[in-house]
Chains A and B, each alone.
Chain A
Amino acid sequence: MPENIIEKFEVKELKILDEKGNVDSTLLPNFSDNDLKKIFEIFILSRQFDQRALQLHAEGRLGTYASILGQEASQIGSAYALEKTDWIFPSFREMGVYITLGYPIWMLFQYWTGDERGMKTPEGLNIFPVSVPVGTHMVHAVGAAFAAKVKGHQAVSVTYFGDGGSSKGDFHEGLNIAGVYKLPVVFICQNNQWAISLPREKQTAAKTIAQKAYSYGFEGIQVDGNDIFAVYKATKDALEKARAGKGPTLIECFTYRMADHTTADDASRYRPKEELEKWKLKDPLLRLKLYMEKNGIWTQAYEDEIRKKLTELVDSEIKKEETVGLPNPKDIITFTYKELTQRQAKEIKEWQD
């Protein structure tokens, strides 16, 4: 009996905007100048938030923080494609997603000071609290997508995780269930090349993370994660596909973690300096700026003006957070269940006495 090929797959790579600010106009999303400015401003805001968070940490005013530096295009580009009714299940390195969706900045600072109130998502946003255990939350997006399907809603669930998270069992279980039931979910892997000290090639022997989708019966695509146009287009396409009932997509954003894993980490212990220098040339903000400059949308005066405006905004958000004050210790108990248990009621009473 001859051996037959019974299955084959190919993995696409999508790039639209290069490091010099040149684009492939056949693939370029249809953005107005205003869209581009808005995206550029979210970019600056995200970077300012990130820098201020690191600075506040250094001053001892903020707890451990996971920087998003270098990954902004993956986060902003994908989040910008979402509809208000979509549901988002992030990990802990997605502040750019929260900011793009309009999550209050002061609440993000509040969360990172170690205050759960910062993750009480305001009504009107369907973004889930930060998930600390790596790679365990993709299944929640699968469940929410399942629910949307049962209820006949148009909502798509989007979940973010990293190259490290793709090694977890729940990645497999989540993608598998999503594939079987053709659920409206988009899996966004920010492959930032490092899981603390473990380089990407030791995370999986597979050439790409995108190709893993094919073993669950749906498409995966690798996009240049520092190219905001490519990330936006891939996400938009995946969302449309999901809304049309054609099932899930895995998007691997090929990007780079420019900072340490968190403020508790020192990447110089394990990461070659030259690698970081090489990736600095691929900076996602720089290439967006070059593109906008070429098209007469960016000027230094414009950037100076918005930087000033956004610095003031971040300052006032930090002030706002500081005026909110400390949470009530009673909150530790109050939110365990909808109603207090007999024991909890006693504990609260003892406290008050």
Chain B
Amino acid sequence: MVQAINLALKQEMERDKDVVLIGEDVGKDGGVFRITEGLVEKFPDRIFDTPLAESGIIGTAIGMAVYGLKPVAEIQFMGFIYAGIEQLFSHASRIRSRSRGRYSCPLVIRTPYGIGIKPPELHSESSEALFCHMPGIKVVVPSSPYNAKGLLISAIRDPDPVIFLEPTRLYRLIKEEVPETEYTLPLGKAKIVQEGKDITVIAWGSMLHRTLESIESRSVGIEGFDAEVIDLMTLNPYDEETILESVKKTGRVVIVHEATRNCGFGAELSAFIAEEAMLHLKSPIIRVSGLDAVIPMARLEDYYAPTKEKIVRALKKVMEY
């Protein structure tokens, strides 16, 4: 996925000279995850290492975007974006509305998110729901190298601010061929990664893979039914149509996310499904989520996020209801 994101950035910078990169250590160092490796050599005048200042980075990106550039800002870890939330919530999200369309703010904030690499505290956050709650911001989470490239290119070309959350666990986990040619995947569209008729399972980012693994593990006694798996990809605005269509077909829903349950994005999805498709449901909607607790450091990390066992238990529960 690292290479796919790097390729997307490189191709967009080649295509559009208004695309610039800013952030901490994104230049010579190539970013702490090496996402921007080799780019400063190609585009020395369009990649800027900034002082250590997340609010300043996002605020600067806002000014750049308003003036007419297409900044892609990297926040080193999602836990550090909190310092820039005022810029996102009080400004980036509102510029189009505040100026009644005279100004817009086409920026992308890329940030690694989620658990998986056992780093220090605040390096494993999954607070995507925070950003989904703020109108005016789009929230995108890729789950594979292929869709990371296509979604990032769309995010860069999008006329509004986009938060692009890169699942840290997937950076070097999933390998697949990614076309060298330019392609885009539309924002706001989910993808059915596996068709099925009995349960709709909704996931995104790294939890998509854990979900698929859970379904595939025949040893745990969930054979005999078909799960339809939706990769949401864009959380805000999310693809209501695809979800509804699937739920109307299956009548059972399991939502899997890594973030804490309370006001997590699964809460929005379950409320939406309950409002729109209650009479199609054959069992209660189940959310499989992270614990309602602070994300732990390395040694307890594995206990926090949904495990395969928890996902399987949820699948069985909706089937046996």
Inter-chain CA distance A341–B63, complex, in Å, is 25
Determine which of B91, B97, B240 lies in contact with A336 in the assembled complex, contact meaning CB atoms within 8 Å: B97
- CB–CB A136/B86 < 8 A: yes
Inter-chain CA distance A132–B50, complex, in Å, is 26
B82-109 near A? 1/0 per residue, CB < 8 Å: 0000110011000111111111100000
Instruction: Tell me if A16 counts as interface (CB < 8 A to partner B).
Output: no
- CB–CB B55/A170 < 8 A: yes
- CB–CB B51/A128 < 8 A: no
- Interface residues on chain A, number (Cβ under 8 Å): 46
Most chain B CB within a 10 A radius of its CB, from A141, A150, A343: A150
- CB–CB B159/A338 < 8 A: yes
- CB–CB B98/A139 < 8 A: no
- CB–CB A147/B69 < 8 A: yes
Given contacts A136-B87, A142-B59, A335-B100, contact A147 B51 (CB under 8 A): no
Interface 9-residue window, one of A69-77, A91-99, A117-125, A228-236: A117-125
- CB–CB B102/A121 < 8 A: yes
Q: Which residues from A are CB-within-8-Å of B226?
A: none
B49-69 near A? 1/0 per residue, CB < 8 Å: 011010110111111111111
- CB–CB B56/A150 < 8 A: no
Inter-chain CA distance A121–B98, complex, in Å, is 10
- CB–CB B53/A128 < 8 A: no
- CB–CB A338/B59 < 8 A: no
Inter-chain CA distance A341–B234, complex, in Å, is 12
Given contacts A150-B45, A173-B56, contact A336 B100 (CB under 8 A): no
The chain A residue sitting closest to B60, CB to CB, is A143
- CB–CB B87/A139 < 8 A: yes
- CB–CB A147/B64 < 8 A: yes
The chain A residue sitting closest to B58, CB to CB, is A139
- CB–CB A341/B237 < 8 A: yes
Q: Which residues from A are CB-within-8-Å of B188?
A: 341-342
Instruction: Tell me if B179 counts as interface (CB < 8 A to partner A).
Output: no
Instruction: Tell me if B128 counts as interface (CB < 8 A to partner A).
Output: no
Q: Which residues from A are CB-within-8-Å of B50?
A: 177, 180
A58 CB to closest chain B CB (Å) equals 27
Instruction: Tell me if B46 counts as interface (CB < 8 A to partner A).
Output: yes
The chain B residue sitting closest to A340, CB to CB, is B237
Instruction: Tell me if B41 counts as interface (CB < 8 A to partner A).
Output: no
Interface hits, A312-340 → B, CB 8 Å = 331, 334-338
- CB–CB B99/A121 < 8 A: yes
- CB–CB A151/B68 < 8 A: yes
A110 CB to closest chain B CB (Å) equals 11
Given contacts A128-B103, A147-B63, A338-B159, contact A174 B56 (CB under 8 A): yes
20 sampled A-B residue pairs with Cβ under 8 A: A120-B100, A128-B66, A129-B98, A137-B91, A139-B55, A140-B63, A141-B63, A142-B59, A146-B63, A147-B68, A148-B67, A170-B55, A173-B51, A173-B56, A176-B56, A335-B97, A335-B100, A337-B160, A338-B96, A338-B159
